[in-house]
Amino acid sequence: MSSDIEIIKLVSREATPNAALIVGSSGRVFQLPNPGSPDSNWSVLGSELPAALVRDLQYNVPDDLLTAALFGRGAFVLPNASQENPFKVVNDLVSFEPIASSFTTTSDTSGCPSGFSGKFGFDAKLTNVSGSVFTSIVTQAGTLTGNNLLQNADTGAGGVGSRVTVPKKDGFADGLLSSGEFVDVPFVICLKQTERFEFSVNVSAFIDIGPVASTR
């Protein structure tokens, strides 16, 4: 595909909890949801766009509009572009339960910024309770109180919004979390004080919609 690539845009979708790499080529606009993930999949974005050489792409975040300038065909506007993204929040399609036997508290603050008093670690069991197949699963901290930080976030210790990419093990060892399969996800929290706090995550995943969506 490389010789066909006309334009590449990295689009940060601030309005939604994901980002996408969008590529215009000689005939299609493709998107790669969650480009930091090693196993994200390319899919066609805006299948209703005419097949023509894509000369330019502009994404308007507040209005969620993707404008594609097509060679010889003018400009086409794709409204609600992020809705086209198969990388979605799947909170309603999973169960996610902390495993009490995995709870550990330590005064070791390695990996935490200075000023922390310890760490709390645990695994949570993520089970696909839907009929769909998930790939590229990411958790994102939705609540984290007490000025605590998520130590094992993908980009280092961080607060609300920090992501942990779900590791490929258990039922996800094959990169596919099928209906009924589970994977244990580790979390480590840097603690300001050893006291009660609240932590919740949102789960996003690429919902595999079959070979039509993949260019590999």
Q: Which of 4, 39, 63, 174 binds Ca ion (CB under 5 A)?
A: 174
Binding letters toward Ca ion, positions 87-126, x by CB under 5 A: ----------------------------------------
Length of the chain: 216
Give the interface segment with Ca ion, choosing from 82-90, 108-116, 140-148, 166-174 (CB under 5 A): 166-174
User: Should residue 4 be labelled a site residue for Ca ion when binding is judged by CB under 5 A?
Assistant: no
Q: Residue 188 and residue 35: Cα distance in Å, rounded? A: 24
* Residue 9 neighbours by CB under 8 Å, 6+ apart: 21, 22, 23, 24, 57, 59
Q: Which is nearer to Ca ion, 64 or 181 (CB)?
A: 181
Interface segment toward Ca ion; rule CB under 5 A; list 17-25, 173-181, 186-194, 208-216: 173-181
Residues 124-163 that bind Ca ion (CB under 5 A): none
Told to check if 171 binds Ca ion by CB under 5 A, we report: yes
Q: Which residues contact 2 (CB under 8 A, 6 or more apart)?
A: none
Cα 174 vs. chain centroid, distance in angstroms? Answer: 18
Residue closer to Ca ion by CB (options 44, 176) is 176
Q: How far apart are CB 177 and Ca ion at their closest, in Å?
A: 6
Please, which residue, 154 or 181, has the CB nearer to Ca ion?
181
The contact pattern for Ca ion, residues 178-207, with x = CB under 5 A and - = no contact, is ---x--------------------------
Report the residue number, 146 or 171, with the smaller CB distance to Ca ion.
Answer: 171
Tell which one of 176, 192, 213, 215 touches Ca ion (CB under 5 A). Answer: 176
Spatial CA neighbour of 105 closest among 87, 90, 119, 122: 119
> Bridge-partner residues for 193, per DSSP?
none
- How many residues contact Ca ion, by CB under 5 A? 4
Residue 171, SS3 per DSSP? helix
> Residue 39 interacts with Ca ion (CB under 5 A)?
no
> What whole-number distance in Å separates Cα of residue 171 and Cα of residue 155?
25
Return all residues near 121 (Cβ < 8 A) that are at least 6 apart: 102, 103, 104, 105, 106, 186, 187, 188, 189
- Binding interface with Ca ion (CB under 5 A): 171, 174, 176, 181
